[in-house]
Amino acid sequence: MKTRKRILPLSLVQTGSVLANDLLGPGGTTLLTAGCEISDDTLKSLGRRGIELLAILENDTRSAEDIASQQIAAGERLRLLFRHTRGNDLLLDLHAVVAQYRQDSLA
């Protein structure tokens, strides 16, 4: 099964989710390793440690066509949002950076 990484606030992580990256504590020690399954006790323990966000792996059931159409829709939405930015180089740069981010996160 294909997966993709997603960053979520702890409050929206469901038990049974799979951790995408090693989770390091303040001193650089490994608290959890990538690939481990998140249990309810793990969530509680992370909450007590002040962890607010987790990178988890989600099953990706989208077809190649689904992905392509999502990427096209994202590009169109960005063009609409950035429709009044002509002549501002910084906003053109931001448009390009967000477009790349969207394409990568949807791939």
Partner 1 sequence: MSKELADDLVKRLARLPALPAVVQDILTSLDDEEMHADTFIHRVNTDPVLVARILATANSAVYGRTTPVASLKEALPLLGMNQLRQLILVTSLMQAFDKQGGAGFDRKNYWSHSFAVATCARTIAQWANENADTAYSAGLLHDIGHLLLSTVEPEKVALVYQDMETEQCSMIDAERTIMGIDHAELGLHMARHWQLPSALTEAIGLHHEPDKIDSPAALTDIVHVAEVLACALDLGTLPNSSVPPLSPMSFARLGLHWPSLARRFPEIEARFLSAAHFLED
Least distance CB 99 / partner 1 (angstroms): 10
Neighbours of 74 (CB within 10 A): 17
Nearer to partner 1 (CB atom), residue 26 or residue 50: 50
Least distance CB 64 / partner 1 (angstroms): 23
Look up tokens 């951790």; give the residue: 19
Nearer to partner 1 (CB atom), residue 41 or residue 65: 41
Least distance CB 34 / partner 1 (angstroms): 16
Interface residue list for partner 1 (CB under 8 A):
6-12, 43-48, 50, 52-53, 77-78, 80-85, 88, 90-91, 93-95, 97-98, 100-101, 105
Q: Which helix (H) or strand (E) segment is 44 a member of? A: helix 40-48
